[in-house]
Amino acid sequence: EAQVTQNPRYLITVTGKKLTVTCSQNMNHEYMSWYRQDPGLGLRQIYYSMNVEVTDKGDVPEGYKVSRKEKRNFPLILESPSPNQTSLYFCASSLYGEQYFGPGTRLTVT
C-alpha cells in the first residue's frame, strides 16, 4: 500500500531535549516536505527536499533541521525544542505537485 508513515504519532517532551520525528514514504517520490499545523493558521511549510541531499527552508524553519540521506526517509530534527514548537506535524511526499500526507505527529513541549 502506498503510504507516508511517521513516528512517533504522539510525543510529550521537555524544553531542550533533542528529538527526531521520522518520516518514510514507499512511493519513490523525489519531493518530500514537513509542515506544522496550528489552529487558525492552517499548515505552514517547515522544510522541503527536492531529492537526496537537496533540502531547503520553507516558511517557518527556525528551530528545525532536516536531512535527506535516502530517497524514502526525511527525518525532522528539533535540536532544542521549545514550547512554541508544540504543534501537529505532517510529513508529505509529492509526485507532480499532488502531495500525500502522513498521519501526523502531535508534539507537546513542556
Partner 1 sequence: AQSVSQHNHHVILSEAASLELGCNYSYGGTVNLFWYVQYPGQHLQLLLKYFSGDPLVKGIKGFEAEFIKSKFSFNLRKPSVQWSDTAEYFCAVNPLMDSSYKLIFGSGTRLLVRP
Contacting positions for partner 1 (CB under 8 A): 31, 33, 35, 40-45, 48, 50, 56, 58, 90, 94, 96-104
Judged by beta carbon, residue 20 or residue 101, the one nearer partner 1 is 101
Angle subtended at Cα 19 by Cα 30 and Cα 93, rounded to the nearest 5 degrees: 15
* Least CB distance to partner 1 at residue 92 (A): 8
Judged by beta carbon, residue 69 or residue 97, the one nearer partner 1 is 97
* Least CB distance to partner 1 at residue 80 (A): 26
Contacts of 46 (CB under 8 A, 6+ apart): 33, 34, 35, 36, 58, 59, 60, 61, 64, 66, 76, 89
Judged by beta carbon, residue 82 or residue 102, the one nearer partner 1 is 102
* Least CB distance to partner 1 at residue 99 (A): 6
Judged by beta carbon, residue 8 or residue 18, the one nearer partner 1 is 8
Tell me phi and psi for residue 83, to 5 degrees. -55, -30
